[in-house]
Amino acid sequence: MSWYRNTVWFVKGLREYTRGGYESASKRFNPADVEVDVAGRSFLVTGANSGIGKATAKEIARRGGTVHLVCRNKERAEVAKEEIVTETGNQNIFLHIVDISNPKEIWKFAEKFRNEHKLNVLINNAGCMVNNRELTEDGLEKNFATNTLGTYIITTALVPLLEKAADARVITVSSGGMLVQKLNVSDLQSESGPFDGTMVYAQNKRQQVVLTEQWAKAHRNIHFSVMHPGWADTPAVRSSMPDFYERMKNSLRTEAQGADTVLWLAVSAEATKLPSGLFFQDRQPVPTHLPLAYTHSPPEDEEKLMEVLEEFSQKFKSASPG
């Protein structure tokens, strides 16, 4: 059935995920939802030096929020910070250099951050699509380390801080590509069969949807959501999917259009009127499975995912310096 899922997803994408889909959906948006002052609220955005992460951080900064940029590359991050400060006039922009594919580094950062800052909203935007199987220095497959384990660790490490905050939220930037994948807990690091970076990424994004649903059940006083930004023209898309980019470049959303629903989920009062744990596209909840796609997984598989990630997490917590 994979051919069916891929075909339906691509046709759906051509209709909904492009710039035209955004322009159509935006006709029903209420601009007042995001015309809010968030001064005094603290936001952490991972992968914030470019693309959707930077666009989101910039819009939060415009609204007066304190923004913590979590980035891997110091030079690019400093340029992004300077751009955000200059364009918004907001001086409350802080930079943290962390590699989200390095679990020990995440733990070290999170434990320090918890002692020094408050946090109202966590935005898990950092991600990667590596098209050949690569291992990190910890022996982890790089896509899994960044997209799934890194997201899991930074979120669970910061949940105690979020639980102290008013109107706490966690937003994870996923992808509609996850619609073609059923959760597979038997091969989390893509060790079996041929390696297809696009499908590994899609599997990671399915995992993020499951994580969000599970977190929503476990932490009732935090609002969790996961979203698809549509197909946007970002540096990551250009570098990771050059053929797709060349084919679709004239139809791709802008970075700001891709970031719109992230911003809405992060700042609007309307977002938290909806249940925690949902998957969003263009400011509204959408199904997490295509019709007849057979991508639903049994509860025991979802529980297994959480167990395995927690084991990894604790292993690297005990190994982290400090």
Mean pLDDT, residues 144-151 = 98
Judged against a pLDDT cut of 60, whether residue 190 lies above it is answered with yes
Which pLDDT band, with edges at 50, 70 and 90, does 234 fall under?
A: confident
Q: Which residues are catalytic?
A: 201
Q: Is the dihedral of CA 104, 108, 109, 111 positive or negative?
A: positive
Q: pLDDT of 151-172, one tens digit each?
A: 999 999 999 999 999 999 999 9
Judged against a pLDDT cut of 80, whether residue 295 lies above it is answered with yes
| Number of CB atoms found within 10 A of residue 273's CB | 8
Interatomic CA distance for residues 248 and 240, integer angstroms: 14
- Predicted pLDDT at 237: 78
Going from the C-alpha of 269 to that of each of 29, 37, 58, 262, the distances in angstroms are 14, 11, 19, 13
What does pLDDT average to over the chain?
94
Beta bridge partners of 4: none
Second-level CATH architecture of 3-315: 3-Layer(aba) Sandwich (3.40)
- Predicted pLDDT at 13: 58
Judged against a pLDDT cut of 90, whether residue 249 lies above it is answered with no
User: Which of 251 and 275 is assigned the larger pLDDT?
Assistant: 275
- Predicted pLDDT at 153: 98
Say which DSSP state 176 is in: G
Which pLDDT band, with edges at 50, 70 and 90, does 311 fall under?
A: very high
Which pLDDT band, with edges at 50, 70 and 90, does 3 fall under?
A: low
- Predicted pLDDT at 322: 60
Tell which residue, 117, 134, 130, has the closest CA to residue 44. 117
Lowest mean pLDDT among 192-196, 218-222, 299-303, 308-312: 192-196
